[in-house]
Amino acid sequence: MTLSSLLARLPGGIAIGILYGIMALGIYITFRVLKVSDLTVDGSFATGGAVSVMLMLAGVNTWISLLCAFAVGLLCGTVTGLLHTRLNIPIILSSILVQIGLYSVNLRIMQGSALKSISVDKYNLLINVRFVSKTILIGALISLVLIIILYWYFGTEQGSSIRATGNNSAMAKSNGINTATTTLIGLALCNGVVAFAGGLMSQYQGFSDVNQGRGAIVTGLAAIIIGEVLCDIFFKKGSSFWLRLTFVILGGIIYYLIMVLILWLRVDSNDLKLFTAIIVAIFLAIPNFRKGAAE
Amino acid sequence: MLRITDIAKTFNRGTVNEKVAIADLSLTLNDGDFVTVIGSNGAGKSTLLNAIAGTWLTDSGSIMIDDIDITRLPEYKRAKYIGRVFQDPLMGTAADMWIEENLALASRRGERRRLLPGITRSERAEYAEMLKPLNLGLENRLTSKVGLLSGGQRQALTLLMATIKKPRLLLLDEHTAALDPATADKVLKLTDELVSKDSLTTLMITHNMQDAIDYGNRLIMMNEGRIILDIAGEEKKQLTKQQLIDRFNALSDQKLESDDVLLS
Ligand SMILES: Nc1ncnc2c1ncn2[C@@H]1O[C@H](COP(=O)(O)OP(=O)(O)OP(=O)(O)O)[C@@H](O)[C@H]1O
Ligand SMILES: [Mg+2]
């Protein structure tokens, strides 16, 4: 438990944190823009990993495998969206159904095994634990591009109509917005990004794991909320959208560094999920504390 | 231009809470009619507006705007023809979005939402010009979140949004009821200006009899899901509050046994 052993773990922590941050950008679309809780992501994060790894094992190009992960993620979100908008099943429930169903689908994709390795020596992985600094660089670049795209998209007519739907669906409808469609698009995009991040995570780890997505929603929320609290502390409330998205990535990094710290303190790794829950609870409470202090 | 034929709406049919909110109601509005709607609580006024706007589908009857049958159209498709302001100032705007973004959303009512910029530079200038006459200082706050505005400011903005893309029909449901009297008066004046500027066909529910008399060219009174009084033209101009009260009392005592009262 030396300081140097903690320092040695930091870069890896930052790398994984960025990947979780990217995943959280997807979750931001449902949780903050549409203002719904979409639990599909616990399934689609693993789906993205499975798709990317299996395609690469079959000889497909790295980037194409990641784009396919994105596309399959879109599909996962679309299924949740259809269950919700066409069959009127509440979003929470329809997303849980899809999440559960995806577990089997993921096993199918991985040809029945719960874990599929992909060797960094034999395959041209984009990022990996072997080259952490390159991973951080590429992760940062991908984050940047994604933030630019999201910033542009949510400023378009279509993106604005998704924001309006989340904000006030009565207003959206009375202004001619088909809220079923905007909800569907939002859910699809969320899971597309999450699955893309899942693909990245598998490449980083060198394997896809059917359990990879367990707790993804909570990790994503942690990143979003930590990022928002910090953004509100450093910048005033109502700061611009791209800044808030940037802080989601930072939130992912900080969340995972806290995990690294807890592990370094020799906390039993079985207790890690408990700590995650506690951390998220603390950060959820901070804005209320600050409000209370101001009053 | 609006033709409602024999529509009916019963809530919670088949339960102990069954409620006939609208019973065989027909109403025809002419182009440019500004109709005020009064009636006691639960008379079915809001239900009538919701039926037109498409909040849900009616049980029977038909609703036509011009020659378009909107009876079965979902709400978002009817929005192409209809502008709307709700009683609750929070309902008509997106609180977390900017003033200019709200206006931009409204100015695309009834259009496909494409992947083009949600708001253009020239629009911004237009919106500032539009907001100036309101004298609320909103033209300098285009990038303020609507949630920061007062109820009156939000209702004025909603009114602007509802009329920005000249609707075939404007529906106002007690849109000044949540405001203090002075603000309510301002918003009502603004309503009158916007309506007469484009001669918008309008249905305006109000609980204020004087307002119902002062504004518009036609007045209808509802009771138990029916229209029991429909006054227009000269007769409406001569109308006094006392007359209106007397007629209401007379009509509700008769329990609407004959159809004659509907035509009076
Ligand atoms: N969504 C609904 N579900 C069940 N009952 C409803 C619903 N909407 C309206 N009602 C009932 O229908 C009747 C007519 O209601 P409505 O809101 O149209 O009255 P109103 O004339 O607008 O009254 P107020 O002046 O109080 O706004 C009332 O008895 C009301 O309780
Ligand atoms: Mg009402």
Tens digit of pLDDT at every position of chain B (264 positions)? 999 999 999 999 999 999 999 999 999 999 999 999 999 899 999 999 999 999 999 999 999 999 999 999 999 999 999 999 999 999 999 999 999 999 999 999 999 999 999 999 999 999 999 999 999 999 999 999 999 999 999 999 999 999 999 999 999 999 999 999 999 999 999 999 999 999 999 999 999 999 999 999 999 999 999 999 999 999 999 999 888 888 878 877 544 343 333 322
Contact list in A for residue B116 (CB cut-off 8 A) is 156-157
Closest Cβ–Cβ partner in B96, B109, B114 for A167: B96
Nearest to A38 by CA among A47, A29, A46: A29
User: What's the confidence (pLDDT) of residue A1?
Assistant: 72
What amino acid occupies position B258?
S
Residue A35 CA to residue B233 CA, distance in Å, equals 49
Residue in B with minimal Cα distance to A151: B117
The residue nearest atom 31 of ligand 1, judged by CA position, is B42
Q: How far is A156 from chain B, CA to nearest CA, in Å?
A: 4
pLDDT number for residue B43: 94
What structural domains and CATH numbers belong to chain B? 2-81+167-263 (3.40.50.300), 98-162 (no CATH)
Q: How would you list the strands of the sheet with B218-223, edge to edge?
A: B82-85, B169-173, B201-205, B34-39, B218-223, B226-232
Instruction: Determine contact: A159 vs chain B, CB below 8 A.
Output: yes
* Atom 8 of ligand 1: nearest residue by CA position: B47
Q: How far is B250 from chain A (nearest CA, A)?
A: 38
What was the pLDDT predicted at B256? 38
Q: CA-CA distance, B5 to B25, in Å (whole number)?
A: 7
Residues A114-164 have pLDDT tens digits of: 999 999 999 999 999 999 999 999 999 999 999 999 999 999 999 999 999
Q: For B195, which DSSP code?
A: H
- Beta carbons within 10 angstroms of residue A142's beta carbon: 21
Q: What is the C-alpha to C-alpha distance for residues A116 and A170, in angstroms, rounded to an integer?
A: 47
Q: Is B50 in the pocket of ligand 1 (CB under 6 A)?
A: no
- Nearest by CB to A160, from B84, B86, B118: name it: B118
For chain B positions 99-138, those within 8 Å of chain A (CB to CB) are 101, 104-106, 108-111, 113-119
What is the position in ligand 1's atom list of the atom closest to the CA of B39? 21
Check if B23 has its Cβ closer than 6 Å to any atom of ligand 1. no
The ligand placed nearest to the CA atom of residue B223 is 1
Q: Give the ipTM.
A: 0.93
Full-model pTM:
0.94
Phi, psi of A2 (to 5 degrees): -90, 160
- Taking CA atoms only, the protein residue closest to ligand 1 atom 3 is B11
Low-confidence stretches of chain A (pLDDT < 50) are: none
What residues have CB less than 8 Å from A286, skipping those under 6 apart? A229
Determine the pLDDT at residue A251: 98
CA–CA distance, A13 with A20 (Å, rounded to integer)? 10
3-class secondary structure, B69? strand
Q: What is the pLDDT of residue A294?
A: 62
Which of B56, B46, B146 has the alpha carbon at shortest distance from B105? B146
The residue type found at A201 is M
Check: CB of residue B62 under 8 Å from CB of residue B5. Answer: yes
